[in-house]
Amino acid sequence: MNKNRYLRINGLRRKLLFAGVAWPVLSRAGGVRAQANPPGKIWRVGILVQRARPVSIDADAFGAFVRGMRDLGYVEGKNLVIEWRFADGKADLLPALAEELARIKVDVIVATSTPTTSALQKATTTIPIVMGPIADPVGSGFIKSLARPGGNITGLTNMLVDLSAKHLELLLSVTPKPARVAVLLQPDNASNIDTLKVVQLAAKRTGISVLSAQARTRQDIENAFSRIVREKSGAVLLAQDGLFIENRRMISDLATKHRLPSIGAIRELAEDGILISYGPSFSDIYRRVAIHVDKILKGAKPADLPVEQPIVFELVINGKTANALSLKIPQALLISANKVIE
């Protein structure tokens, strides 16, 4: 660099500094380093969860959020407090828990499902809300568009409504074509109703009828399976809801007992006995939720932060369940699986 150019650049730098404009700090790698958190500031992040608290947060997909925050410089007990609220699979508890998080005035709230987002949307219009894996944020009325959310809500979508047709396709690939397929859904979850519609449309093209098996409680799940068996459904597709995640072992036991191939979205379902799971990596989603939270804590407005879509998907097959149902999984499906449980 010649001397005159050096003087011009440094002169401009001094003028900007005296004018109160922050000069970006360059890292050794040549990039702009993010502005550090204010010294002594302790951020409070609320997280509303429909299901019960897992035995280990770190081993759950939620652990990816905590690790993601740590990677971004937020350490619990030092500059971060996480206010967890778990509804134990009871959707009726969500409004009160959402209002509690709004009342204690956390800096950001993470919503982990469609019902939790709905409860938080009613509880506050000012505190930023970051959605975790939400099925249809536009159709549910949470945001105006993926590119421009427009309010106090942003985050990620899990595309599970769109994936429902793929779930039906996977079910049909591993079982003799049934005359009827049941969709186990929670009728108060708007995305579950959308899932049913997508499955009905896809099933119509194959000549299969669809049974809507509704459940709001654990007892309802048992009643739903009695109806599924009584009406001779040949397979079960689980819509995504905290109630079904909370009771996944019971559901897998009922499906296996009645010799019903089953499919759901998250890998924990297959790991606990559901025949197949296919959907986005929830661990990757929660890692990216941490990035959204960090941006908001650094001053970004939710209205301007685009809602992102999943980029990592997982296929898990439970070979033990397949053996119990005397099903032969196609070799092509086994090869493409991220995990096969033997």
pLDDT tens digit string along 138-187? 988 999 999 999 999 999 998 888 899 999 999 999 988 899 999 999 99
What is this structure's pTM? 0.78
pLDDT one-digit tens code per residue, 46-95: 999 999 999 999 999 999 999 999 999 999 999 999 999 999 988 899 99
Residue 21 has pLDDT above 50, yes or no: no
How many CA atoms are closer than 13 Å to the CA of 172, on its beta-carbon side? Answer: 19
Percent of the chain with pLDDT over 90: 80
> In the structure, what pLDDT confidence band is assigned to residue 37 with cuts at 50, 70 and 90?
low
List the one residue out of 254, 121, 129, 115 whose CA is nearest residue 184. 254
Q: Is the confidence at residue 17, as pLDDT, over 80?
A: no
Residue 325: pLDDT over 90: yes
Query: Which domains are assigned to the chain?
Result: 43-158+281-312 (3.40.50.2300), 160-280+314-341 (3.40.50.2300)
Residues 312-329, mean pLDDT to the nearest whole number: 96
Q: Specify the range with the lowest mean pLDDT, choosing from 106-120, 152-166, 269-283, 321-335.
A: 152-166
Tokens representing 317 are 């097959």
pLDDT in tens, 220-239: 999 999 999 999 999 999 99
